[in-house]
Each structure stands twice: as C-alpha cells, then as structure tokens.
Structure 1
C-alpha cells in the first residue's frame, strides 16, 4: 500500500507539558485509520498537527510527509482542499451561515478546483443530488439537520479534489441512522484516497474497520486491525472504553413511589406548519426518570421545551400537580459550551448564580465532590476544560438550584463512552436524591433502557 501520510516521532507540547507524546503512524491508500480515545486524549491535537493548524502557543516536533513529500505547516496549508481536507466535529464550523448549500459547494469547485462558474454549479448540483441533498440546495446550514449539515460539509471538503480526509468526531451528536449514513460516506473516501477518523465512538470505529490506534492522555496505548483491537484489546483502558458502551451498563434501580408531579393529556406540537407528534399522554412523578427516544427532528427537544413552558402546545393539556418556580424547571443542554460565557472563569459564573439566588457558598463543595470535580477547575474558563468536565459543571450549576423538573437534552451524546456513563449515572443518582423528575432525551435507546423508569418513543405518536 502507498502511504498518503507518514508521521515520525510527532509530539505536541505546551511550555513544559507534553500534550501528545512522540508517535509515528502511516495512513495508507484504501485503508481507513481510526484514532480512538476519550475526550481530551490528544486526538484532535494530532489532527491539527497534521493539518498545520495548531495554536501558536503549542510546539510541534517530528516530521509530517504528505505523499512522500516532507511538509511544514506553511507548505501543508497550500495543500488544503486540493490534497488534504478536514471535516470538523461541528459541521457548522466549516460552513458559511449565510450561504445556501449549493453555493457552499460550487465555490469550492470554482476557487479551489479552478472550474468556471457554470461547470462549478453543475458539479455542485450533481454532488448534492448524489448525497441526497438536492431538496435543500437553497437552504442555509442552520435550516439543516445535523446529518444533512455533515453531508454538506463532506461535499465541500471533497469538492476541491482532496484525496486525504481527516474527520474529527464526524458523528458526534447524530442519531444512529444519521451516524451510519456518515460512516458509509466516509468509507467511500477510501476507494481512491485515505481516511483518518478521530472518534470516541467504539461503534463507529468498528464500522469503519481498517486499523485502529487507541490514545489516552496524549499517549498511544495500542494499535492494530479493528478486529484485533476491539475483539482482543490488550490495554486496560481499551477494555474499559469498550465495556462503557451502554449495552454493558448495569440496570438502574426502579424509582421509589413518590407524589405525582405532572400529568400530560393528548399533547400535540408543531414546528412551523409541520406537525411533529400528537395524542401524547403520560404522567411523571418526583424522582422519576422519563426517557424520550427518537431520531433527530422528531420533536424530542421540542417536547422538552414545551413542558418547560418555553413553547405553547399546539393542543392538549399540561397539568402540574404543584406550582413550580422558573428556577425549579431547568434544562441541561447537549452542547455544554453553549451554556457558558468564555469571558470569565467558571468560578465567577457559579458565584454569580449563588448571588442571584441567594444560595450559601458552602453548597458548592459537596456537589463538586459528588460530581468528581476538582475545585481548581473553577479557576479556568469554559474553553480550558474538557467536554465531560464542562457538562458536569453545568449539572452542578443546575443542582445548586434544587430543581423539581430537569430536562437533559442529549447530555452525553458528545462525550466518550466512559465519561458518558459516569455523567448519566451521576445525573440519575442526583435526580433520585433530590426527588427531581428527570426528562432524559436521547437517540440511544439502549442507554435509556438502562436508566429510565419509563420511555416514550415519539415515533409511536405520529402526526
């Protein structure tokens, strides 16, 4: 096999701290290579080092060759789009928010691929049609589902002719059907080129096949074929990562009997003129865990927002059995950074909450301990902690208010399996202890079956 990328003794450091220990690898034509590991393991730093986009504060050592040609950061940038392209974990980071889908792709054909305007437009339409996006060719990125946006980003990433794709967590936050579609799309890239995928999702690594390298805390722990690594793991961490998949979780204890908090009768909801669901009825008790399951776009988040009073129902009744204040009805978001200002420290944000709601400052330390959080994390900004740490801080901030009803919207979908298991079980434990009714939204049915007292599949309430 011909090596498209060859890396020798590549390392990344910040001052005296080693973020990625020296490692070597090769990406071969026709053979997928997957870097598997937890959040903060150094996977994305490795991708940035290959692309030549590391922050200036970080130091890179070692050599990177593209198609047997040694490259530095400056010369690698000249290959962007033409030979080397990046698919980021958030497709919206790669797309212009005010540019229609077709134009996003046609401009790559025109300005990177050097096609004339007419040929670029024809090529863009053909590619969008091949990817099942022709019906959204004139829509903006924010009007697309997560899976559609990732397919559009893939189209833009490959339109310039790049044979090498680096995909950084390309399925993060997607439901199973969308995830499988993106995986098949990525695998097609290996027919004539190379694919380096960075993921914490064991199922994605298994689907991609090829070779796998497992990283943790900047160290390479083991490598081999997907079959070898996933079926006969040698490192304790690899075994822990595999065993943290939801199918291996222990089942949660059922909720003890508590007073009824909420009764929902024949609820229906719309998005614009589109009816999402109808005829939905259920009750929810204090300390009960209710799972809501379905594919992206079926109305899971809309249901949560409706119960929180953020949206009026299209029809039906929502009857609270006891009055709740605004601060007793809270939401834990899927994307933790969206919940925090990066302008101040996390400690400042927590202290502001204490002052606003006249809460005692000594309430923070016990929750930090329960959530396995180091108090030193509060001295950092939201940009300087891992996704799992930030989601637990979001949970700390919510639990300080002693909520009676909490909507957790895909709270672990962007986390590695080990962190996802820890966070979900902590969430359930705290909800039980504080007798807080928890609405847990997920596209992972297995995860919900392990921790919920009842589950609502929204597909059973079609419009």
Structure 2
C-alpha cells in the first residue's frame, strides 16, 4: 500500500487562538483525509471562522495562535504564520463568508474567473473554462458585470467559481450556501461533490444543516471556542450526544411551528390605523439597462403584517425592497407611502451588515451617535443586545473585528431601536446559526406584534416563509 495515501490532506493538532491570555479558540484537533470533508457547525461567534483564519495563517493583530497545522504532510507551527512552506498558498484556498471579499470590485466577473484559471491554475483555455463554469451555475449574464452589479447570491456563486479555479487540493469554504435558494444550494452542493470526486478535500463552515447532512464525511460542533462533539456526520446528526447539538438541530427552520399570530398581528397599534396600508405598490416594474427584473407588481403592505418577498437569485428582491423604501425609483408604476410618516419610519436591515456601519469607528461610537442624533434610549439598546446574547465588549471593536452573525444582530438591534413603521429585512439571519436565527425571528415577530410595525422579509428559506409570513410577493426572473 502506498504510504502517502494515508497522509491527511489537513491535520490540526492542539490549535488555539488567543487574545492576550484569553483563549478564543482552544484544544482543536482533527484530520481530513484526501478527498474527505469535515463540516463545522456552531453558533455565530463560536470560533469557526477564527479557526479557518488560523489555519490559513491570516489572523488579524493582535490575535495569535498555538498548536500545529499540517497540509499534505507539510508541517508548520500555527504561530509561524509568515514562515510557512513556500507551496502552502497553492495547496490551500479560502472562500470567505462575504463573497465581496473574494471578488475584485474593479474587474468584471467573467474576467476574474478566467484570470484565476490562467494565472493560478495554468490553463491555456482559461476563457472557455470560465464560460463553462459560469454557465453551470446560471451566471452567464453576470460574466460582463462588475460585482456591485449582481445580487448577493450571484456574487456568492461567482466567488466560489473563482476560488475553485485555483485548483488547490484543499479548500476552506465559509458559508457556501448562504443566501441561496434551494436550486442554487443544490448546484453548489453538486460542485463541492464534484471537487471531492476529483480529489479535493474540504473544510466546510456552515449553519446549513441540510448541507452538512448532504456532504457527509465528518462533522464537528463548536461552542465557545471548543469542539464539543465530533464524529461521522450521519451518526452525529441522527443521534447527537451533546445537549447543545440537540438544541441546534431542533432549531432548524424545517422544525419550526408556524406562528400565525405573528404573521397576522392585530394592526390596531400601527401608525395608519386598523385598515390603513403603510405602503401600496401599483404595477411597479424595474429594469437595469436592457435587463428587465420584474414588471406589473401590485402589493399593499399593512401595519402589523409580515410579508415575504421570494424568488430566485437575481430576480430583483433587494431592488423591490429598495423601491418600497424609496431608495430607488421604479421605471414604471407607482409607490404610495402613508401620509405623515418621517423618512426614518422606513428602515432596512442590509444583507451585508458590514455595509451598514462606518468601517473605521467602533461599533459603540456608531451606536452612540445614532442614540444622540435621534434622542433614543441607550438602555433599551443594551437590553436588546443582551437578549441576542451579544457581549458589551463587542461594541469596543471595529465592524470587521466581529463575526458576520454578531454584526448582523447589532444591525438588527439598531433598526428596532428606531421603532420604524416598516422594516425591509434583506436576508436578516443569513449569517446566523439555527438557534440564534430562531431567537432573532422570535424578537422580530414579537416587535411586529407589539408595535404594529410591518415587516417586508427577503429570504430564500421556504420553511421560514411558511412559519412566520402571512403572505408572499413572488418575483420571477423575466
């Protein structure tokens, strides 16, 4: 037997990530065989992405790490981030949680995928390969667009293709199905399986229990910086031994009980009265250049309602919500908002929470400025942050220094503090684990019920729509 076949694609021994003397991640050990997969589940802020950064060797200062990392038998002390083997970078690729971090904003999507095939993969037919890859995920129309011109789901798929084109035998994928509809999730799963069949090994970080089940292989659950359960994926998912793992699986939206009370909350407390509409949409349509997104959309959104906006990636869900808010003008049709409402009565929870915060000031400063400007109650904000299990110390950090899930919850608390008449929530829990997601939706629906606020919700998760929305507005690709 060839001994090299037994060498793990990735082996981690005793890895820890520390901030001063405080361990943020500790005691992590595992091995992934060639062509194998290890899926990490766990709540936002449990240390999954920090673990990936430590393996990659790109932890931000002042964090440091201990332990040992081996890739294909090449060993490195985890602390020696700058002196790893010269071939390390070509053997390991990372698809980050935020797709825009993996895409060059100054290059068109197709050119980026082709460039990786040519410069990193060494392909002589790079353009043809890029075209076939883009077509396989329904992205041919995006090939000649810049990243800011495509939807979050499309950017996620494009970033995956650009990363995969590097041809590294080991890939770390951070939330590869975040914000994708069921068909697109299936396509990404197919790509991951194909890559495995070709010999690629995967470390997959996800909140998507469906993906963890379909990928198979090994599964580990993280909580508070440690692996609390680890083993064969099918066995762990079928019969978890840890209480937290059982709670995590029970919080999957597929297991939720429909909350009809929240979906049809009494609108009497709403700012427009028992029967008034906060927003009425008449025959609205929108195009970008020659591309028609949608046309002839009619809707009336009343106080105390939860209305879902559904449709495949690229169908214009975010654009429709921005039109409702008044951030964009429709090309045709009309939007009427209730009289007497201030502009601040219409609020948005961004799909990318990083876009909602100034990048160079602390989160505390951002929130303090908001409270001062609008004469709000800081104590109420603190209470909401505590309910969402966010430590006060997080506010001392810059936006990029907290996890995507933590930043998403802070953005939600900020919006709720404004007590708006209508919230447009664009994939508001896409970065959250099932337990935290369930808690956040409980808070949102409670807010709708208590205040009469309307909630216009974009989500690709049909189980969430079924559980909390009273009705839906369906958009389809034109």
- Tell me whether the two structures share a fold, i.e. TM-score over 0.5: yes
1:457 equivalent in structure 2: 474
2:215 equivalent in structure 1: 208
For residues 10-409 of structure 1, what are the structure 2 equivalents within 5 Å? Answer: 10-72=15-77, 73-74=81-82, 76=84, 78-80=86-88, 82-114=90-122, 119-121=125-127, 124-125=130-131, 127-128=133-134, 133=139, 136-191=142-197, 192-252=199-259, 253=261, 254-258=264-268, 259=274, 260-262=276-278, 264=280, 266-272=282-288, 273-359=290-376, 363-368=380-385, 371=388, 373-409=390-426
Q: Deviations over 1:377-404 (max 9, x none)?
A: 4444333444344333323322332211
Given that 2:287 and 2:331 are in contact with CA atoms closer than 8 Å, whether structure 1 keeps it comes out as no
Given that 1:37 and 1:214 are in contact with CA atoms closer than 8 Å, whether structure 2 keeps it comes out as yes
Measure the CA separation in 1 of the matches of 2:144 and 2:302: 45
Tell me, which stretches of 5 or more residues in structure 1 are unaligned? none
Given that 1:328 and 1:404 are in contact with CA atoms closer than 8 Å, whether structure 2 keeps it comes out as yes
Kindly state the Cα deviation for residue 77 of structure 1 after the two structures are TM-superposed.
6.0
Measure the CA separation in 1 of the matches of 2:474 and 2:135: 31
Kindly state the Cα deviation for residue 369 of structure 1 after the two structures are TM-superposed.
5.4
Shift of the 97–233 alpha-carbon distance from structure 1 to 2, 3 Å rule, reads same
Tell me, which stretches of 5 or more residues in structure 2 are unaligned? 269-273
| CA RMSD, Structure 1 to Structure 2 (Å) | 2.7
Measure the CA separation in 1 of the matches of 2:178 and 2:36: 22
The 3-state SS of whatever aligns with 2:24 is strand
TM-score norm. by structure 1 comes to 0.90
In the alignment of these two chains, the number of paired residues is 459
Given that 2:265 and 2:448 are in contact with CA atoms closer than 8 Å, whether structure 1 keeps it comes out as no
Given that 1:265 and 1:279 are in contact with CA atoms closer than 8 Å, whether structure 2 keeps it comes out as no
Measure the CA separation in 2 of the matches of 1:200 and 1:6: 23
- Aligned with 1:428 (options 430, 442, 445): 445
Kindly state the Cα deviation for residue 227 of structure 1 after the two structures are TM-superposed.
0.9
Moved more, 438-447 or 174-183: 174-183
Q: Deviations over 1:66-90 (max 9, x none)?
A: 2223235345463355322222222
2:271 equivalent in structure 1: none
The 3-state SS of whatever aligns with 1:413 is coil
